[in-house]
A and B are shown apart, each in its own frame.
Chain A
Amino acid sequence: MSAQAIIEARAVSKWYGQFHALKDINLTVHKGERIVICGPSGSGKSTLIRCFNRLEAHQEGEIVVNGVALHGRMSNVAAVRSNVGMVFQHFNLFPHMTVLMNCMAGPMWVKGVSATEARRTALQFLERVRIPEQANKFPVQLSGGQQQRVAIARSLCMKPDVMLFDEPTSALDPEMVSEVLETMTGLARDGMTMVCVTHEMGFARAVADRVLFMDAGQIVEEGTPDAFFGNPRHDRTKLFLSQILKH
């Protein structure tokens, strides 16, 4: 069963008005796979992963998540979303709730878990991202790196089958990037299925099974980290990598 597909995208196209944002995307994410997506700004990376939990709707092609097709009028979109965790560039924690409540809300309100049970799960995952002592603070009282780790814990509390990361470290100060990446590496080691949009190439090398390069709404190149970084085939990929690895 190791080859079970969690996300399957076939010939997906998406338009924003006249603008063709995703062009004929084909991608299969298997259970336990870690995929890193990179590419220049505006190439459609966010749009793509936001299609995977239907924060955006695609117009052509098929996306199947956990066996549920994401198109048309979906009555069960909440069920799909509760199994797909998402971590945002700007954390998007709920500022009016404590850290603990941020983590308890999902299980309690979507899955109907009891408060005691939700609290236990929340503390367990806050422990996992190594900030259990901040449980009763409000998000604004934490540093950026801590907030992003809370956001990861909040998603994990829903016990998702797959986690989507949209540039989780690009809004962080440099010294906080590594604490978030360590958390994500730990997740990968525990076998979580992950799709990460990130420009952290060290992270991609260390944990990715496959690296995808997107440009102008298309997946231009795809390969194992070794092949991707060692021997990029397309000029656009080479240009991008040279720009990113220059520093």
Chain B
Amino acid sequence: MLYPDTVEAEVLVHKPWFVATMFGVVLLVFMAFNLSGTGFAELMRPVIGEPSTSGLYGRFAIGFAIAVIFTLNVVLIGFAPLKLQIGIVWLELLLLFIAFFETFHLSLPFIREKLPFLISQGVVTTLYVSAISIVIASVVAVAGAVAKLSSNGFAYAIASFYTSFFRGLPLLMQVYLIYLGLPQLGFVINAVPAGILALSLCYGAYMTEIFRSGIQSIDRGQWEASRSMGFGFALTMRRIILPQALPVIIPPTGNQFISMLKDSSLVSVIGVWELMFLARTLGQKTFQHMEMLISAAMIYWMLSICLELIQSRIERHYARSKVR
């Protein structure tokens, strides 16, 4: 939460100038579009007559109606308590999206037919590739962060070379490098392990920096208190420093997890049958690309929402020691 000033202020969406501006902008925007061919114009037929010949008056009437609905909606939501506001706005935005997808005229039976395979093969692969990569990336990140903060020249050099290299190359290139490059050295590697390796190393590099800044954000006094009691380096790190760094580390790490979930689609280029791969291939035969792509998009989104929920839970857990 931002700092809540105790001075009472009128809700923004109830200020006359704001309501008027909003109304005006919506009116102008919707007048600029020609909506005479849409279903909304059909609804307006009693007022504007035949939509296609209604001209400027028709445009104005349609824009005016939309502006009234929009403004009324926003002003009314402004009266609701915070939680309800959030819920209603989410729901409305979701409905708009569904309305947008409606315009594709998707074939629901086709989706229903393919969905089980999309989930049992695609989602499962995506999930286990990301989950394993996330675990390895976290371990790499802790080691990398410690190395980058150490006074050992070798450790620092290796860690900084690693982060520089893997943050500097496009992930797609890394996937190819590992899948096609390692066999040159005599390590023949399957597509799935190659994908996991590429994802782990790439995200490990980003997370190294996140962990390093988290560890650095902890006051020196914590190290001193801990070491002065006889705790060793590893114990101090595990029990004193990392638990305190976690609240700093978790939000950007949550970002990384969500981004990794979707970047795991890059391993489809080496033929791993994960969600993205199937979404592109399943609809090919019957030219029903949109069905599969949109289903996959929704699945990615739902998985991301799960990660967001887990993240907010963990954040709440670590907020305990901060309350006065």
- Interface residue ranges, A against B (CB under 8 Å): 53, 55, 78-79, 81-82, 84, 86, 88, 90, 92-97, 105-106, 109-110, 138-141, 154-155, 158
Q: Roughly how many angstroms separate A155 CA and B228 CA in the complex, as a whole number?
A: 9
Known: A78-B232, A81-B228. A88 touches B221 (CB 8 A): yes
Give the residues in chain B near A141, CB-CB below 8 Å: 323-324
Q: Is B228 a contact partner of A53 (Cβ separation < 8 A)? A: yes
The interface centre, meaning the residue of B321, B322, B324 with most chain A CB atoms within 10 A of its CB, is B321
Q: Is B221 a contact partner of A90 (Cβ separation < 8 A)? A: yes
A-B CB proximity, top 9 nearest: A82-B230, A92-B225, A92-B221, A78-B230, A81-B230, A86-B228, A110-B230, A138-B321, A106-B229
> Cβ of B244 < 8 Å from any Cβ of A?
yes
Known: A78-B232, A81-B227, A81-B230. A140 touches B321 (CB 8 A): yes
Q: Is A55 a contact partner of B224 (Cβ separation < 8 A)? A: yes
Q: Is B230 a contact partner of A96 (Cβ separation < 8 A)? A: no
CB distance from B109 to the nearest CB of A (A): 54
The interface centre, meaning the residue of A88, A96, A106, A155 with most chain B CB atoms within 10 A of its CB, is A96
Q: Is B221 a contact partner of A94 (Cβ separation < 8 A)? A: no
Q: Is A95 a contact partner of B321 (Cβ separation < 8 A)? A: yes
Closest A residue to B238 using CB positions: A109
Give the residues in chain A near B243, CB-CB below 8 Å: 96
Q: Roughly how many angstroms separate A94 CA and B226 CA in the complex, as a whole number?
A: 9
Q: Is B222 a contact partner of A92 (Cβ separation < 8 A)? A: yes
Give the residues in chain B near A139, CB-CB below 8 Å: 321
CB distance from B247 to the nearest CB of A (A): 9
Q: Roughly how many angstroms separate A145 CA and B225 CA in the complex, as a whole number?
A: 18
CB distance from A236 to the nearest CB of B (A): 30
The majority secondary structure among interface residues of chain B is helix
Q: Is A55 a contact partner of B229 (Cβ separation < 8 A)? A: no
Q: Roughly how many angstroms separate A139 CA and B227 CA in the complex, as a whole number?
A: 19
> Cβ of B45 < 8 Å from any Cβ of A?
no
CB distance from B282 to the nearest CB of A (A): 48
Q: Is B221 a contact partner of A82 (Cβ separation < 8 A)? A: no
Q: Is A138 a contact partner of B229 (Cβ separation < 8 A)? A: no
Q: Is B225 a contact partner of A93 (Cβ separation < 8 A)? A: yes
> Cβ of B112 < 8 Å from any Cβ of A?
no
Q: Is A55 a contact partner of B230 (Cβ separation < 8 A)? A: no
**B230 in complex: contacting residue of A79, A88, A92, CB < 8 Å:** A79
CB distance from B87 to the nearest CB of A (A): 33
Q: Is B221 a contact partner of A158 (Cβ separation < 8 A)? A: no
**B235 in complex: contacting residue of A79, A81, A95, A109, CB < 8 Å:** A109
B122-152 contacts to A, CB under 8 A, are none
B297-324 contacts to A, CB under 8 A, are 318, 320-324
Known: A95-B321, A140-B324, A141-B324. A82 touches B225 (CB 8 A): no
Q: Is B229 a contact partner of A96 (Cβ separation < 8 A)? A: no
Known: A81-B230, A140-B321. A96 touches B225 (CB 8 A): no
Q: Roughly how many angstroms separate A208 CA and B292 CA in the complex, as a whole number?
A: 81
CB distance from B141 to the nearest CB of A (A): 20
Q: Mark B240-269, 1 if CB is under 8 A from A, else 0.
A: 100110000000000000000000000000
Name 13 extra pairs, CB < 8 A, besides A92-B224, A138-B323: A55-B224, A81-B228, A81-B229, A86-B224, A86-B228, A92-B222, A96-B244, A106-B229, A110-B229, A138-B320, A140-B321, A155-B229, A158-B230
Give the residues in chain B near A94, CB-CB below 8 Å: 222, 225-226, 240, 244
Give the residues in chain A near B240, CB-CB below 8 Å: 94
Give the residues in chain A near B231, CB-CB below 8 Å: 78, 106, 109-110
Q: Roughly how many angstroms separate A95 CA and B320 CA in the complex, as a whole number?
A: 10
Q: Roughly how many angstroms separate A84 CA and B228 CA in the complex, as a whole number?
A: 8
B189-228 contacts to A, CB under 8 A, are 219, 221-222, 224-228
CB distance from A26 to the nearest CB of B (A): 24
Closest B residue to A107 using CB positions: B229
> Cβ of B14 < 8 Å from any Cβ of A?
no
14 chain-A/chain-B pairs, Cβ below 8 angstroms: A81-B227, A81-B230, A92-B219, A92-B222, A92-B224, A94-B244, A109-B235, A109-B239, A110-B231, A140-B321, A140-B323, A141-B323, A141-B324, A154-B229
Q: Roughly how many angstroms separate A169 CA and B322 CA in the complex, as a whole number?
A: 24
Give the residues in chain B near A92, CB-CB below 8 Å: 219, 221-222, 224-225
Q: Is B321 a contact partner of A55 (Cβ separation < 8 A)? A: no
Give the residues in chain B near A110, CB-CB below 8 Å: 229-231
Give the residues in chain B near A82, CB-CB below 8 Å: 229-230
Known: A90-B221, A109-B235, A109-B239. A96 touches B227 (CB 8 A): no
